[in-house]
Structure 1
Amino acid sequence: MGSVGEAPSPSTIPVIDFSRWNASTSKAERLAVAKELTDACRRVGFVYIINHGLSQELLDEAFDTSKRLFDLSLEEKMQAPHPDGPEVHRGYSYPGLEKVSQYMDGDEHVGEQLRQVGDCKESYEVGSEENAQQPNVWLPESTLPGFKDFTTRFYWECNKVAQSLLQAMTLGIGLDDAEYLIKYHSGHNNQLRLLHYPPVPAAQFESQAAARMPAHSDWGSITLLFQDDCGGLEVEDPKTPGKFVPATPMTGACVMNVGDLLMRWSNDYLKSTLHRVTLPALSDRFEGDQRVTRARYSIPYFVSADTESLVECLPACTDAQHPVKYEPVTQDVYRKVRAKLQYPTTKPVTAAG
């Protein structure tokens, strides 16, 4: 599988060829790439990265692994259940368990109302084996042989790309030390997510009886996303709030976006943009007379600072004309605010699916 399709207009979501960063030893060339990257993240908050460093063979294996996982029976997948509540984000989440939203006040009554429209997706979360606060929940090896070994390897390969992107963005922001942000990002607090959106009649989405993933921003530093050819990811148009434009799958690319904490770090110099997953824009994304959506697979890799990292305005992002906008906050405190209503504290007795 992997990312396929035609590129959208660069005026909507820019395309950055990262081979110029990976292959060059010239400071001037690297700085030019860094400036292109941060300029895109200022204007849109989303960018296509081509020649990012992960081979198509590796991505194909990742999508094949994801499909084998979600082809298992519900009973088999529930051998690695997502822990109760929002504190630990690991293991398998069945359709309807997680509710994504932009709501942050933590009112349980509002959470119950949001859950009236279920998110039609299932996922599996993997992290670093050295993260004691977020322990992995693994399937038995006999259920899906090789799954733990491959996802662990893929996790750390994605982290190599993420660290290079963070270095480039650090220079693009205007800091002299390319390692400045890396010092807060060991890789042990990242999250690899395998996502599957099962086929659903389009009418359920059109009547708002169900959703795939409502509009939200990511709350980490950056996100790398690999998607199949189904489509459905949309990004808020920076020129027209409330209007969403397709992030059309593009061959060999990953979609990178800025998260809330990097926006705070940069004093809003970089943009954390709302995005959602909805019905695909093209009619050939449906199957049959009932207009059932095709299954969609995607693999986001959420890059987060280490738990106790203090997120405060970077020195290059404030001056007399740009006062500091945000109080300092640790990654862990902000994560808990954003995640409070994402998963119910007590799971329903019967898994939807």
Structure 2
Amino acid sequence: MTADESSIPIVDFSRWAKASSEEKKEIAKELTDACISVGFVYIVNHGVSDEMLDEAFGWSQKFFALPEEKKMLAPHPAGPNVHRGYSWPGLEKVSQYIHKDEDGDADAKDEELRKIGDVKESYEIGSDECTNQPNVWIPEEVLPGFRPFMTDFYWQCYGTAQELLRALAIGIGLGDPDFLLKFHDGHNNQLRLLHYPPVEAEKLASDSIARMPAHTDWGSITMLFQDDCGGLQVEHPRKPGVFMNAPTVRNAICMNVGDLLMRWSNDYLKSTLHRVTSPPLSGKTADGKSMTRARYSIPYFVSPNPDALIECLPACTNTQNPVKYGPVVQEDYRRMRAKLQYPEKQNMPGAAKTVSVA
């Protein structure tokens, strides 16, 4: 395997729905092998239609084209506990660093990491039945049709996620294809609309600003849809610190394993570092500075239910491979990883006003 784009496998999921038991085992093995070797895989013919994906990106572009004051009618709540609504550029900070209150310098480390802002904006959507993270919807009169479409799109993505979890269960050798589904009722997932506005390429290259620094995802799996801009990179499976490009495969899911599935599988499946860096340039400004293209992407994060206990699966341990992680509850793990992501106090864009957690 070399550090080029061909290192991320492609799995055709078109046969899955009508496949025999043996055929499903073959497809599941393809999927699982990719998750073992790279932690990332492209999935084509996955069941979310091209038409729906085109419409989803269209709605995303409409939302981010709104004036700032309109987007701020659905602001992300202060603090890291509720991850919903609109996050303006510079609010969220993605990092692999884990803030632990017992560490004496944790707050200082948070402040140091936040000196380099992430230049992106996002809108977070969940199930309307998710009580611990209620949705913050943009008013219907601001963007008519947005909420019903995104609600439908959310559940369409969950339908595909269910089949991927079944395939992974078969590939791991759990016996019951629905084993993982018992921990995933769909209400704790997250649909994220992401927009990376054009920025000066020189500032990205000098690390004075960031897109999205290297990190792993926290949940079970992530299903990512990308536009044709580029910029996503994945750590090479055999060369730590070396990142390879993950180019767009039109309307494919770029799926990756999250931390909790890696813990469940006792490191059998790989949660891989990835980042968003400088995409191709779009031209120069009037004063000659090179600018990046705007980038849109839509990740769908599939997470276990908040009260799910994540502990090593019996099929993934033996005397030669002892249990590597202790049990953890999903909500506890999420809050630990989210501690740095959103500050307890946040400055609203275009104003000196500070919003605090109640």
- On whether the aligned pair clears a TM of 0.5, the verdict is yes
For 1:291 and 1:52, locate their aligned partners in 2 and report how far apart those are by CA, in whole Å. Answer: 37
For 2:51 and 2:146, locate their aligned partners in 1 and report how far apart those are by CA, in whole Å. Answer: 17
For 1:349 and 1:301, locate their aligned partners in 2 and report how far apart those are by CA, in whole Å. Answer: 26
Q: CA deviation at 1:350?
A: 4.0
**Which of residues 27, 43, 53 is equivalent to 2:21?**
27
Structure 1 residue aligned with 2:309: 310
Matched residue type, 1:15? I
Count of aligned positions: 340
For 2:248 and 2:349, locate their aligned partners in 1 and report how far apart those are by CA, in whole Å. Answer: 35
- Listed as ranges, the matches of 1:1-353 within 5 Å are 9-10=5-6, 12-24=7-19, 26-106=20-100, 107-280=106-279, 282=280, 285-288=281-284, 289-351=288-350
Q: CA deviation at 1:23?
A: 3.0
For 1:109 and 1:22, locate their aligned partners in 2 and report how far apart those are by CA, in whole Å. Answer: 51
For 2:146 and 2:334, locate their aligned partners in 1 and report how far apart those are by CA, in whole Å. Answer: 27
Residues 112-151 of structure 1 deviation map (CA, whole Å, 9 limit, x = unaligned):
1111000000000000000110000011111010111011
**Given that residues 219 and 338 in structure 1 are in contact (C-alpha distance below 8 angstroms), is that contact kept between their aligned partners in structure 2?**
yes
Partner SS for 1:252: coil
Percent identity for Structure 1 against Structure 2: 62
**Given that residues 94 and 351 in structure 1 are in contact (C-alpha distance below 8 angstroms), is that contact kept between their aligned partners in structure 2?**
no
Stretches of 4+ aligned residues off by more than 6 angstroms = none
TM-score (norm 2): 0.93
For 2:253 and 2:42, locate their aligned partners in 1 and report how far apart those are by CA, in whole Å. Answer: 6
For 2:5 and 2:28, locate their aligned partners in 1 and report how far apart those are by CA, in whole Å. Answer: 21
For 1:57 and 1:184, locate their aligned partners in 2 and report how far apart those are by CA, in whole Å. Answer: 30
For 1:33 and 1:57, locate their aligned partners in 2 and report how far apart those are by CA, in whole Å. Answer: 25
Partner SS for 1:292: strand
**Given that residues 124 and 191 in structure 2 are in contact (C-alpha distance below 8 angstroms), is that contact kept between their aligned partners in structure 1?**
yes
**Unaligned residue ranges in structure 2 (runs of 5+):** 101-105, 352-358
For 1:59 and 1:178, locate their aligned partners in 2 and report how far apart those are by CA, in whole Å. Answer: 28
For 1:263 and 1:330, locate their aligned partners in 2 and report how far apart those are by CA, in whole Å. Answer: 14
**Given that residues 226 and 251 in structure 2 are in contact (C-alpha distance below 8 angstroms), is that contact kept between their aligned partners in structure 1?**
no
TM-score (norm 1): 0.95
Structure 2 residue aligned with 1:4: none
For 1:103 and 1:19, locate their aligned partners in 2 and report how far apart those are by CA, in whole Å. Answer: 39
Residues 88-131 of structure 1 deviation map (CA, whole Å, 9 limit, x = unaligned):
00000000000000010331211111110000000000000001
User: Larger relative contact order (C-alpha < 8 A, sep ≥ 6)?
Assistant: 1
